[in-house]
Structures are given as C-alpha cells and as structure tokens.
A and B are shown apart, each in its own frame.
Chain A
Amino acid sequence: MLKMKQLSKIYRTEVVETYALRDFSLEVKEGEFVAVTGPSGSGKTTFLTIAGLLEELSDGEYWLDGVDVRGLNDYRRSRLRNEKIGFIFQAFNLIADLNVQENIEVPLRYRGLGGSERRKAVNEALTRVGLAARARHYPSELSGGQQQRVAIARALAGRPRVLLADEPTGNLDTQMARGVMELIEELHREGATIVMVTHDPELAARAQREVHVVDGQVVDFAAPPRLVGGIETHQ
C-alpha cells in the first residue's frame, strides 16, 4: 500500500543542510494500522507530509498504492492525494466558514463528483461517525471531539486507500480522545489502512505495529505490546 525505500528529506538553506529524514524505509501493507512514534523533531511529521504527498522527497523511492510518486507534477500529485489519501489532523483543520456538509464535500468537489454522489457520500460518512444530524452545523458550533469526527468523516468520504492521522487526539480531552480513538480502531477493523503519527505511547500501543523514528531514521520495528484479555502479549 505504502512503500518507502531509503528515502531522504533535506531542508537546505544557504549555510546548512538539515536531514529531516535519512535512509528512511518503511512498508505499510493494506489493512495495517501502524503507529509512527518518536520524540519531538525526530521527523515523524515530515514523514507524514511526504507520505501524504504534501512535500516532495529529496532522495529515495516512494510508492503509493503501486504508483511511483517521484517526478509527478503538482496536478498528478494532487489527484493522487485526493483519491488515495485521507488526512486526520491534530487541529482538525475544518474550514470555519463552511458547514459540516460543505467541509466533507471539499475533497469530493476536487474529485469532480456530482451533487447527488457527493450528498450520498457525505451522508454515509456522517452516519459512520455518528453526526448525521449535524450536517448544517458550523465547526464553531461543535465540540472538539465532534469536530475531529467531522474531520474523520471528511477523510473517509472519498473512500481513500490510506488514512494518515497526525496526533488525532492531541487537541482533545481524555473522554473525547477515547471516543475518537475507538472510532479509528473501528475503521481499522473494517479494513482501513491507517498510519498514525503520535508521541503518546498509549495510543501507539493500540496500533498493530509501531515504528519508532529518531533523527529522521527508523530505529525500531518492534510490535507494541497488546493487551489481550488482560495478558500482555507480543506479535
């Protein structure tokens, strides 16, 4: 589904070169739920933006759903991003002057879907996140948890091949975070491929697999311990 091989990302100024990612290799299979962890500044978010085609890689290889993304022009990258990827951001990133339905429609508009197709997809996504009754509400009228659910609905509406989540519960209180995390896990059980960046070990522990990043490099592919029936196990 997502394959990176010896990928590098270098930020250059006139005087210094900074490696945000170096020889970064990772493969995420279809239906996997992978947590990417690491300390601040380790390169987690850079990985996510490159995976999400928001930034170009400096070196290495990256295939997304079998497509080699190197050298694609902006239009094709945007198209690929629109069709294959759903983003869930820490700060929800809903557009304030659009209501819930219009927010969810945004990626579908850029895909060129007609009105009835859009409405159907929006209704399904909103029903899926339990907010069907809030379609006409504006983001400011929703709680943080509800906003994140709308963001998840927006990510789901276009039926992407992979969900990229960046600290999806970072801006939520414990109760809301639990609800959002349960929704993400539910999506995974239904077959969604999810890559979640987090610095929270508890959240990472709920993924199938944890990838630890330090100084822009993958240092560990350890499967996180999982609690099954109260007994700690390793996959």
Chain B
Amino acid sequence: MFGYYTTLAIRGLRSQVALTLLIIAAVGVGIGASMTTLTVYRGMAADPIPHKSARLFRPQIDNFGPAGGMGPAGEDGLQDRLTYTDAIALLQAHAAFRQAAMYATGLVITSADPGHRPFDTYGRATSADFFAMFAVPFLYGTAWTTRDDSDHARVIVITRDLNDRFFGGANSVGKAMTMNGEDYRIVGVLDRWQPLPRFYDLDASFGRPEDVFLPFTVAVEHKMQFGNVNCKKAGAGWDDMVRGECVWVHFWVELPTDAAAAAYRRFLDSYADEQRRSGRFQWQARTRLRNVREWLDYHHVVSTEARILVTVSFSFLFICLLNAAGLMLAKLVGRAPDISVRRALGASRRAIFAQCLLEAGLVGLAGGLLGLILTGLGLSGLHALVSDDVRVLLHLDALDVGIALVLAMLATIVAGVYPTWRTARLQPASQLKTL
C-alpha cells in the first residue's frame, strides 16, 4: 500500500495547490532560518580533531599568582600561554608521549623568480611533534625531526596552497624558499588541513591558516616576532619577553591514556611546586590540564549569543510548524468528503492516518528543499556581513543537507500528527449525509 499512499499523497499535494504552497513556504522559511544559524553553530561547535580530541591536552600554569599580570586571563585567572622558560622546561622534561611548543609569527617570502613578488604571510614556529600529534596529512615529504629542532635546522613545511602558488603543485621537497631574507629547505608539503575551530591557537579560531611551519628553536633564534604576549611586568625588548615572566608560548601535549593524563597532571603540579620552592613563584601555583573539548568550552568558542540565536531560530521554526499544522488541518478538512468516501469504501483509520502522514512527509521534503535554498541564500547574505574569520563557516555540506531534509520531514510529520489524527477520526457518516 505504500506505493498507493505515495501516489495519493502526490495527488493530495496537487489538490488545493495554494494551501500546499503555503504549507511548504511555512516549513521552508522555518527550516531556512534554523539551518542558517545551525550551520554556523555546527561549524563553531564542531570537534576539530574528533579522533584525538580526548587525548590532546593544553597545560596551564599560574605564572602570575594572585596579583595577576598585564593582559587578560581566563575565568579561573590562569593564562592561556606559557612563558618561554616553562615551555622549554616542559619540552626538555619529555613527560608526555608527544609535545609541541608553538607561536604564530609573520613572515615575508621572497623568490628569485621575478614572477613572484614578495608577500607577507603567517608562519607557525613549532616543534617536530606538532605534525604527528595533530595527525597533519602530508602531500609530499615529511615533518622535520626532533634532531632538526635541537640542531636549529633551517627546514620548513609548507601548505599545499603555498606549494601550488610557488611550485605549481609539483613536489617541492628539497627545494629552497627564502623567508625574511634567509633560505630554508622544504622538507614537507601539507595536504589540505584546516581544523575548525583552530583549537591549537584560538587567537584566530576561524582565521586563515598559516602557510609555513618552521622549528620553534629557529624562530626564537631569529627573534621572529610573536603576537599576543602578557607579562607580569612591562618588558623592554625581546630578551625580557623571552627570558622574563611573559607568557606567549602555546603548548600542547599528547597523552594516550587516562593514566598518562593523570601522571602528567602530577608532573605539572610537581613542576609548579618546584618553581615555588626555588623562589620563582611566591604562591602555591595552580595548574590545569584541559583536553581539546574542555579547552574550547573554557574559551567559549561557541558564544552564548550563537547558542541563543540557534534557540531563537528553532523557536521560529516551531512557530512556522504550528502555522503549517493549522494549514494542514484546513487542507485536510477541505478533503473530508473524499476521505469519508474512502472510509465508506473500506479504508481504516490507520490507512487514512498513514496516507495523510505520508503526505505531510512529502510536504516536509518539499519544505526542506525550499529551506535549503533559503539557507543557501541566508549564508550568502551573511557572507557580506561577517568577518573573514567567520566566513569560513558559512557553507553547506552533505551533512547539513541531510539534517535539513530529515529535520523538515520529521518536523512536518510531527506537525501533521494532530491534523491527521483529527481527519482519521472523522465520522464518515456525517460527511456523507451532507454530500
């Protein structure tokens, strides 16, 4: 009977066309509004590295104590970043399975080829473990080694985009690239990789990714500038910021088991206590170790406003569905005579219910398709209004399309339950008497 009900449902859509279109419009507008906000929200709330997010940790140490330092701190008073001193100490301790210190820096890339003009770009100074720890895919070559880190080797890994731009997509491993006036040897080319949000450095959660990766040791040696820095006291120049109590180094560790995470927590506490005993800290320094999800929550990567917006838009969808339910009721009441005839000819309530609910599902499907078009328009409109950082989230993927269609169909079926139930409960005799 499913095929028959489907045929009837399609015929039902074609009858009372104006009402059908109104219902589709009500569902479509609601889906369009809710999917537009949901798409942005999903982009913000997505787990950027789902297969490892529970095993990657961000350590924090209370460098500034109760007095605090200059610049913002988290809700718990802790700074996001570590001092250079602490970062190096943690690296040298090798207490984690993998570990990487890092910071973002600006670079000027030049080329001997007159066809390439010099240009500014972002680079990330980091440790060799960065690539394995974050499961970064390579198109050509590999990461540099920890030996390269300690040897201050002038090696770099570049992104696929930069490789396309400079080398026409050919394998550039082994070739040289001039940055800030010095030559670096390319050891690897990344494949497409852009975790969103960029959890490992939330200074630009959704911003343009860096083009070049180079060893942390080399960047510090060359005094490559870093971005955000908070100090306990105002510093004076590079050495003060590197050697003094200034936090600017992002630090991540990979801890493959709960036991390893617990051990690392003890290690961090022990390290902080050691700093107090040595007289560096005059306070009982707190430490924290947060995994990726906890880190994103701690930073409110998904803003309260975004959550409210999603709630509001889904409330709007609910109102649209109430309207759709009313329109469906009107439509089905208009078809009461036909339904009564079907009842007289042997259709059970169950059969009428199934037929009408299938029709609601088809209306939902049509509403979902309209909603997708409106979502596309909504996202296009937002493109013009938001910053580059957020723009990267404004796209529909296959999952969004699936969510929109399933949501539309389910929501419309739910909205159609009451009108359908009412229709199935019609007393055919009362209708047939008046025919």
Q: Identify A110's interface contact among B338, B347, B349, B435, CB under 8 A.
A: B347
Contacts of A95 in B (CB 8 A): 338, 341-342
| B347 and A78 contact, CB distance less than 8 A | yes
Q: Is A173 on the interface with B (CB-CB < 8 A)?
A: no
| B344 and A91 contact, CB distance less than 8 A | no
Q: Is B93 on the interface with A (CB-CB < 8 A)?
A: no
Mark the stretch among B281-289, B388-396, B425-433 that contacts chain A. B425-433
Contacts of A111 in B (CB 8 A): 346
Known contacts A97-B15, A109-B1: does B432 contact A78 (CB below 8 Å)? no
CA–CA, A74 and B347, complex, Å: 10
What are the interface flags for A78-92 relative to B under an 8 Å C-beta threshold, 1 for contact and 0 otherwise? 110111000101110
CA–CA, A191 and B37, complex, Å: 69
Residues of chain B in range 405-435 having any CB-CB distance to chain A below 8 Å: 427-429, 432-433, 435
Separation in Å of the B20 CB from the closest CB of chain A? 13
Kindly list the 10 A-B residue pairs having the minimum CB-CB distance in the complex, ordered from nearest: A82-B346, A78-B348, A49-B429, A110-B346, A107-B345, A91-B435, A54-B429, A93-B341, A75-B348, A55-B429
**Residue of A83, A95, A111 ringed by the most chain B CB atoms within 10 A:** A95
Known contacts A54-B432, A89-B432, A109-B4: does B338 contact A81 (CB below 8 Å)? no
CA–CA, A91 and B337, complex, Å: 11
List 29 A-B residue pairs with CB atoms under 8 Å apart, sorted by A's residue number: A45-B433, A49-B429, A52-B344, A54-B343, A54-B432, A55-B427, A55-B429, A74-B348, A74-B350, A78-B343, A78-B346, A78-B351, A79-B348, A81-B344, A82-B345, A87-B344, A89-B435, A93-B341, A93-B432, A93-B435, A95-B341, A95-B342, A97-B15, A98-B11, A107-B346, A110-B345, A110-B351, A154-B345, A158-B346
Contacts of B428 in A (CB 8 A): 54
| A93 and B15 contact, CB distance less than 8 A | no
What are the interface flags for A20-49 relative to B under an 8 Å C-beta threshold, 1 for contact and 0 otherwise? 000000000000000000000000010001
Contacts of B429 in A (CB 8 A): 49, 54-55
Contacts of B1 in A (CB 8 A): 109, 112
Separation in Å of the B245 CB from the closest CB of chain A? 80
CA–CA, A112 and B4, complex, Å: 11
Number of interface residues of A (CB under 8 A): 30
Chain B contact residues, majority secondary structure = helix
Residues of chain B in range 73-109 having any CB-CB distance to chain A below 8 Å: none
Closest B residue by C-beta to A77: B348
Contacts of A89 in B (CB 8 A): 432, 435
Contacts of A96 in B (CB 8 A): 338
Q: A93-B344, A109-B1 are in contact. List 4 more A-B contacts (CB 8 A).
A: A49-B429, A89-B432, A98-B11, A110-B342
Separation in Å of the A124 CB from the closest CB of chain B? 18
Contacts of B343 in A (CB 8 A): 54, 78
Q: Is A106 on the interface with B (CB-CB < 8 A)?
A: yes
Contacts of A97 in B (CB 8 A): 11, 14-15
Contacts of A110 in B (CB 8 A): 342, 345-348, 351
Residues of chain B in range 125-140 having any CB-CB distance to chain A below 8 Å: none
Residues of chain A in range 90-126 having any CB-CB distance to chain B below 8 Å: 90-91, 93-98, 106-107, 109-112
Contacts of A112 in B (CB 8 A): 1
CA–CA, A158 and B344, complex, Å: 13
Separation in Å of the B388 CB from the closest CB of chain A? 54
**Residue of B11, B346, B348, B349 ringed by the most chain A CB atoms within 10 A:** B346
Closest A residue by C-beta to B347: A110
Separation in Å of the B164 CB from the closest CB of chain A? 58
| B349 and A74 contact, CB distance less than 8 A | yes
What are the interface flags for A160-194 relative to B under an 8 Å C-beta threshold, 1 for contact and 0 otherwise? 00000000000000000000000000000000000
Interface residues on B, range: 20 to 34
| A79 and B338 contact, CB distance less than 8 A | no
CA–CA, A96 and B435, complex, Å: 13
Residues of chain B in range 267-300 having any CB-CB distance to chain A below 8 Å: none
Contacts of B341 in A (CB 8 A): 93-95, 106
CA–CA, A200 and B167, complex, Å: 98
CA–CA, A111 and B347, complex, Å: 9
Q: Identify A49's interface contact among B348, B349, B432, B435, CB under 8 A.
A: B432
CA–CA, A52 and B427, complex, Å: 13
Closest B residue by C-beta to A87: B344
Contacts of B337 in A (CB 8 A): 93
CA–CA, A93 and B340, complex, Å: 9
Separation in Å of the A103 CB from the closest CB of chain B? 9
Closest A residue by C-beta to B351: A110
Separation in Å of the A64 CB from the closest CB of chain B? 14
Closest B residue by C-beta to A105: B4
Contacts of A87 in B (CB 8 A): 344-345
| B347 and A54 contact, CB distance less than 8 A | no
Separation in Å of the B431 CB from the closest CB of chain A? 9
Contacts of B350 in A (CB 8 A): 74-75
Contacts of A55 in B (CB 8 A): 427, 429
CA–CA, A82 and B344, complex, Å: 8
Separation in Å of the A107 CB from the closest CB of chain B? 4
CA–CA, A86 and B428, complex, Å: 15
Contacts of A81 in B (CB 8 A): 344-346
| A106 and B427 contact, CB distance less than 8 A | no
What are the interface flags for B6-28 relative to A under an 8 Å C-beta threshold, 1 for contact and 0 otherwise? 00000100110000000000000
Contacts of A83 in B (CB 8 A): 346
**Residue of B14, B348, B351, B428 ringed by the most chain A CB atoms within 10 A:** B348
Contacts of B345 in A (CB 8 A): 81-82, 87, 106-107, 110, 154
Contacts of B11 in A (CB 8 A): 97-98
Contacts of B346 in A (CB 8 A): 78-79, 81-83, 107, 110-111, 158
CA–CA, A45 and B1, complex, Å: 32
Closest A residue by C-beta to B7: A102
Closest B residue by C-beta to A52: B344
